[in-house]
Structure 1
Amino acid sequence: MPAYSGSTSQTQPHTQVVSVPPALTVPVIEADFPRRLHPYWPKLQEKSRSWLREMRLMPPDKVERYADSLCYTDLVAGYYIGAPDELLTAIADLSSWFFAWDDRHDRDSVHGRAAQWRWLCRGLHGALDEPRQYLHHRDPLVAGFADCVRRLYGFLGPSWNARFARHFHPVIEAYDQEFRNRRSGTVPTVEAYVELRRLTFAHWAWIDLLEPTARHELPRVIRKHPAYRDAALATQDFSAWYNDLCSLPKELAGDELHNLGISLIHHEGLTLEQAVREVHRRVTQCVADFLEAEKEVLLLADQLSDGTAEGKKLADTVKSCVFNMRNWFSSVYWFHHESGRYRVDSWDDRSIPPYVTEAALAENELVGEE
């Protein structure tokens, strides 16, 4: 049986007709959140393929066969409109790395490779603090992460770099928590999962990247403004929970324990169909929450534009950030229906994606034990 039956069809600006099953349709996104793509996107695809090969994050044959159809570059090219080409490339590589890390996390959890996983986490923490020292690390995931971090640290300066690291260290720790949960068979409660997911999705790191996209670092008073934080949280919760909604069949097939739907089924006694409806309800509420907060953020931007050069720069930066927060909705939405990452019905083995190579992971396991 298909994961989600039926579909509605939509035509996107750079692809063929895309099918959206009714259970996953969010009409307000299709009607009011137009899809945008950074003009550098076609070049980004080419660069991403080269980087994945160079960093050995995917075998060359799998890069050629699957990289474009996974649509990782499409996702990022719709997030960060206005970013310098070099920054967009670094963010795209970080995004591709993140998916590869997520796949490693899954396979290490399934096979109980605890020593390898601990070694990997230590390397990632180190690369976040001293990326240049980890560029030639023997684990491709550590070296690839160090390369992304080094490049990202070149845009706004020490205070932004420190904040990005401060936001990303807990992401690594949250993935480690998920690893331990899976080894012990622990399904988080709904409340615990919501907080954990805000870390494993790296909410605040992706929001941080809106600032170099706008070429200006925002002061803390603006970043901590309730409307700005509400808008940011709404767009990130939408993205994380819509991912949960679309990946639920994939994760059930792979015995995953971390998904909002799985927590609802396990702890709230919902059926699969009820859980899908509840996650969909929360996803839709995120859109409404964003639209409310967006109005206040735009009013804040108007107040900042006080006739001074600095006021105009701050106002323009805030407008750029909230514009791209808005773009997350459409980019995430269409990505999940374009990417081959979620097409479990087409896989030979529904428990493992065809673009993941177990032999390469086993080789990395030996490295981790040295």
Structure 2
Amino acid sequence: MPEHKVEEHADGLCYTDLMAGYYLDAADEVLQAIADYSAWFFVWDDRHDRDIVHRRPAAWRRLRFSLHAALDAPGHHLHHPDPVVAGFADSVGRLYSFLGERWNARFARHFHAVIEAYDREFRNRTRGTVPTVDAYLELRRLTFAHWIWTDLLEPSAGCELPDAVRKHPAYRRAALLSQEFAAWYNDLCSLPKEIAGDEVHNLGICLIHHEGMTLEEAVREMRRRVEGCISDFLAAEKEALRFAESLAGVTVQGKELSSTVKAIVANMRNWFSAVYWFHHESGRYMVDSWDDRTTPPYVDNEAAGEK
């Protein structure tokens, strides 16, 4: 965004509000770091989109490799000439300060996978390849960064969870359903923009292309899946809370862990309302008010990268 567009549009995009509605009870410095990282993520997503639209593979390749490097050594990239890389290094360095090396390594591992998923999307979109529904859903879990937003529940709660808790089926199912809802609802709200832009990475577009659905049928199917996430989460939430209760035992440590998991599961529930609100309040999805339905008014088409 050029400076005048930041002043005009940034608050109305509601990026930080989205995080404030999800990570409740996080310490101020943790919530600020997550909110800044979220704003960075949307900017990165827009840069990726513009590199695709303007056929800038060399620019995308440079950014991709720079982000991998900044993820592993953020302190060395704080003054990178590309502000997207420098901003990422700043955000990651702050996020790495809250818990320990094990959490940092996990976050880095998960985000390396996100960067590579964005590269696969870059190749699909520049080639006009519409992935199958199953392939898309698998890739979407990475491009939406399901496990990144789940990882960030831990510094918000002030506690790194043991692997036995994080990997427990009851915990993982509740976490996955909350993120699937968000990704699929995002696809539903993004569908008009992405159809207008001849994009290929959207659940609705995959359903139309590979399942032979009409637009109306695809929208109904997306709504069905979104509603299914809600009902399935309500059942998974009960299982996750029962699991949390079982952790209490008779020790103080057990009771603290149980309380932490309960708070995290409550924030998984918050993701539904935060995501729903965001998609109806943020200027990012108000396609009908744009002069060009393929290009958000806050995006600078001549931003960094090859022209």
TM interval, short-chain normalised: over 0.9
- Give distance in 1, aligned partners of 2:86 and 2:306: 15
Q: Deviations over 1:259-291 (max 9, x none)?
A: 000000000000001000001100011111111
- Give distance in 2, aligned partners of 1:256 and 1:343: 18
- Give distance in 2, aligned partners of 1:145 and 1:251: 26
Shift of 1:151: 0.2
Among residues 301, 310, 317, which one is paired with 2:253 in the alignment? 310
- AA aligned to 2:92 is V
Alignment of 1:170-189 (within 5 A): 170-189=113-132
Unaligned runs of 5+ in 1: 1-57
- AA aligned to 2:158 is R
The reply to whether residue 358 of structure 1 matches residue 272 of structure 2 is no
Shift of 1:333: 0.4
Q: TM-score, normalised by structure 2?
A: 0.98
Among residues 126, 145, 148, which one is paired with 2:91 in the alignment? 148
Alignment of 1:147-166 (within 5 A): 147-166=90-109
- Give distance in 2, aligned partners of 1:116 and 1:360: 11
Alignment of 1:23-34 (within 5 A): none
Name 1:36's counterpart in structure 2: none
Unaligned runs of 5+ in 2: none
Q: Deviations over 1:175-226 (max 9, x none)?
A: 0000001111100000000000000000001000001111011100110110
The reply to whether residue 95 of structure 1 matches residue 38 of structure 2 is yes
Shift of 1:317: 1.2
- AA aligned to 2:306 is E
- Give distance in 2, aligned partners of 1:139 and 1:61: 19
- Give distance in 2, aligned partners of 1:108 and 1:144: 18
Q: TM-score, normalised by structure 1?
A: 0.82
Shift of 1:307: 2.5
Alignment of 1:116-131 (within 5 A): 116-131=59-74
Shift of 1:156: 0.4
The reply to whether residue 244 of structure 1 matches residue 187 of structure 2 is yes
Alignment of 1:1-370 (within 5 A): 58-361=1-304, 364-365=305-306
Shift of 1:141: 1.0
RMSD: 0.9
- Give distance in 2, aligned partners of 1:358 and 1:110: 9
Q: Deviations over 1:70-95 (max 9, x none)?
A: 11111110010011111111111111
- Give distance in 2, aligned partners of 1:208 and 1:312: 21
- Give distance in 2, aligned partners of 1:273 and 1:299: 40
Q: Which aligned segments of 4 or more residues in structure 1 are displaced greater than 4 angstroms?
A: none
